[in-house]
Structure 1
Amino acid sequence: MTQDQLIHRYDAVMMNAFGAPKRVFARGEGVHVWDADGRRYTDLLSGIAVLALGHANPAVTRAITDQLHQLGHVSNFFASEPQIRLAERLAALTGAAETRVFFANSGTEANEAAFKITRLTRRTRIIAMEGSFHGRTMGALALTSSEKYRAPFEPLPGDVTFVPFGDAPALAAAVDETVAAVILETVQGENGVVPVPAGFLAEARRITREAGALLWIDEVQTGMGRSGEYLAHRADGIVADLVTLAKGLGNGFPIGACLASGPAAGLITPGLHGTTFGGNPVAAAAGNAVLDQLEGGVLENARAVGAWLADAIRELGHPKIAEVRGRGLLLGVVLTEDIAPRVADAALEAGWIINAPRPGVLRVAPPLISTREDLEGFVAVLPGLLDAHG
């Protein structure tokens, strides 16, 4: 069946939450995907920073398949060894003496769990950042600053104050003994790939500690190697009270995690939160397989190839490129004109998958296994794409 026929079927039965799909994909392997008409594309978006190890990664596929043959689902009245092992491995990444894990199915669900933990401090105020994105459920949306996402669903859960991202004096002025937590991202992906300014995480840690508030780091997009580290904030020497993960943790299999450390680790008790599918054996097997692969040089590759790609795009010296920012293999190409959506569409036509999180920013987030050879073609065609859409 052709792509056009499949899109027609899609339009007839799917809710119009995303608009018409730009393509219908049929299969993938490594950094490439093929559409229903057999055309090949290089995936420089990784399903929005999800496919850390690329499409159809053999180790992850094998782990999922093997686990399904043994045990697929048991509910959370019971446990499984893969779940326990994954929790142990994630807890060890936080740098805290004690960390406990709650598994969910997505980033927004991980953030919902963390939000509920903050309410158990007996404080209710949350300080979030301007430009933030934390998910689409009502609680996570309340922490997301974008008006276009928030307005149709207001009133949202309240007592959330937004301060400028990276403004330590504004944060210090906003945080007092009524604040339960400060939530921030190490790189604001949906805001155009904006990295946290140097020193701001340390200031946030100091400010929250002095006020007795929790520091909550949303690593849904930046964690699990995307930044070139397991957890981007740990590379800055920070130990957080709450960390949320998803995306790359399952390499496409749905999984999220909320990590609570120190006093926050004991706030959830039986009956206060739950999930049917979170932490199921198959999702846990996928997460363990991802961690196994990350231990094999993938983080080093993400740092090296990410640095090369950022420099290669800068060295183009193109007048429509203002800067390249980001961390690891999560890069934002900042343009001098608001042409990013048209450039992303043109890139797709040319066989390269990227997106435009903001009108003047292209997001490039290829699989962490990508090589320079995989990406050189994109660097070569980018000037022509920009020139054609001025």
Structure 2
Amino acid sequence: MLASAASRAGAAAGARALLASSARAMSSIPLGEARTSEELERRYLMPTYSSNGVRIREGLTFAKGSGSYLIDTEGKRYLDFGAGIAVNALGHSDEAWARVVASQALTLAHSSNLVHTAPPLQLAKRLVELSCFDKAFFCNSGTEANEAALKFARRWALAQDGLTSMPDFACKSSDRKHLDMRCETSRGTCDCWPQAVDRPRATKTRVVAFHGGFHGRTMGSLSVTHKPAIRHQFAPLVPDVTFAKLNDIEDVARAMGPDVAAVIVEPIQGEGGVIPADAGFLRDLRQITTENNALLIADEVQCGMGRAGTLWAHEAAGVEPDMMTLAKPLANGLPIGAVLVKDFVAAAIKPGDHGGTFGGNPLATAVGLHVLERIADPAFLADVRDKGAHMLNLLSQWTTSSTHTVKQLRRPPTDALWAGLELHGPVAGVVQAALDKGVLFITAGPNTVRLSPPLTISKDEISHGMGVLKECVIGGAGAKL
């Protein structure tokens, strides 16, 4: 036993030494002497995006944006087909958007949720009017929105067992006195908090999610994200999650049971490579969740707000989820997230069940209202579909005859400014070759180019970008696959 303990201690010491060595390498640049973006990152930022400080290309730093273009510190313009990972739906530095930002920032940016301000109420009203939902909750990001949806599902599930409020702690101490969030006895603080032994537990706790799905990186949303490379190092995650195959309703049926509280699905998987859930599958999913008294949560963080050619991606299937999560394009770059829910879900939520300091602040919600009104305009959405058809037509002209290089072209069910071009090998070379030609593409996994330009991009810009992509895939880096 002593030898085993010594072995573990030695291994731990070795691991600490390795981490210390890595930290010294990252921080080897003396304070004040970092000059390049890469040096500054290595010296001052956590290495969550790059191990050596290099992002998409060494020496490339963007200084400003204008419309569909990003402009680097040397003044070179890059046509942006990533839109900040489907965030900048109205393009970069849109003048009308910037005026709303400036006006609200000069009026009131934050006051907390202890008091009322008009912008979150107005945005909630319009989101409800433009959807099939009844209530809204605001937060700051997509992962926060999904965390909130999972909590709301658990709270609703508890109510299904008749537990609309939680009883006092079932403390074992005979001389207990409960004080706010702790339990005091004559012997000091009792260990019943925070475990709250013997407290009631909902019988419906399980969540069904899908292979290829991405819902965020915080612990709850990560638990329903099917991406081993970002999951395993943080185990154990939140329990009671089952993964099923997308577009396979029989696999979902095998995963269902009376203990399932919710099913969470992206109507179109974004990080998974722009993979649509079939309309028939979504309708079957709606039916099977209803039959099992489980909630259906639509994660539209990336596919919502016009990206799929309709205001909401689930519209194409003609289904009504019980909850929907939003974020990325909602404020065109300002941090915001939202959860929309049906009344029967909202009825299970009590004051104090959830909240946040910054969620629903006047600045983000005023800007969100502006963005929503513009994207929800039927003429705007018709223009998105028209330009989406143009982009997809240009892609189809050459991808169908390039099967030696192109594995699959994936697209939403409606014409949309969104597509995933999967090659037979890594697309990193294609991305670098396109950068040389002044076009920025992003990826969705190692083998897929993700096309998600601003929704305001012009047809001429689309034509130019698709021409560069064709050249890089067929005549350049892609031909080497």
Regarding TM over 0.5, the answer is yes
The answer to whether the aligner puts 1:345 opposite 2:432 as a matched pair is yes
Please, which runs of 5 or more residues in structure 2 have no aligned partner?
1-33, 159-203
Partner in structure 2 of residue 385 of structure 1:
472
Report the secondary structure of 2:36's partner residue. Answer: helix
Is 2:234 aligned against 1:148? no
- Report what 1:318 is aligned to: 402
Match in the other structure for 1:15: 46
Distance of 2:72 and 2:380 partners within structure 1 = 27
Tell me if 1:332 matches 2:395.
no
Q: Whose relative contact order is higher, 1 or 2, with alpha carbons under 8 Å and at least 6 apart? A: 1
Does 2:66 match 1:29? Answer: yes
The residue identity in structure 1 corresponding to 2:227 is S
Q: Amino acid of the residue matched to residue 88 of structure 2? A: L
- Residue 212 of structure 1, CA deviation: 0.6
Q: CA deviation at 1:160?
A: 0.2
Larger radius of gyration: 2
Distance 1:126 1:64 in 2: 38
RMSD of aligned Cα (Å): 1.5
Partner of 1:160: 241
Superposition pairs of residues 176-325 of structure 1, within 5 angstroms:
176-296=257-377, 297-316=379-398, 317-319=401-403, 320-325=405-410
Q: Normalising to structure 1: TM-score of the pair?
A: 0.96
Partner secondary structure for residue 338 of structure 1: coil
State the shift of 1:70 in Å: 1.2
Q: 2:458 aligns with which of 361, 368, 371?
A: 371
Q: Describe how 1:57-72 pairs up with structure 2 within 5 A.
A: 57-72=94-109
Q: Provide TM-score, normalisation by structure 2.
A: 0.78
SS of 1:269's equivalent in the other structure is coil
Q: Is the 8 A contact 1:341 1:355 kept in 2?
A: no
Q: Which residue number in structure 1 is paired with residue 194 of structure 2?
A: none
Work out whether residues 439 and 468 of structure 2, in 8 Å CA contact, stay in contact via their aligned partners in 1.
no
| 1:328-348 C-alpha deviation (Å, 9 max, x unpaired) | 11210122x212122112212
In the alignment, which residue of structure 2 is the partner of 1:49? 86
Match of 1:360 in 2: 447
Deviations 1:54-110, CA, capped at 9 Å, x for gaps: 0011121111111111111110101211110100111123324xx111100000000
Between 166-175 and 315-324, the greater mean CA deviation after superposition: 315-324
Q: Distance in 2 between matches of 1:66 and 1:378?
A: 35
* Separation (CA, whole Å) in 1 of partners of 2:470 and 2:387: 20
Partners of 2:139 and 2:359 within 8 A in 1: yes
- The alignment covers a number of residue pairs equal to 385
Q: Percent same amino acid at aligned positions?
A: 40
Change (3 A) 1:283 1:118: same
- Give, as a single letter, the amino acid of the residue that structure 2 aligns with 1:318: S
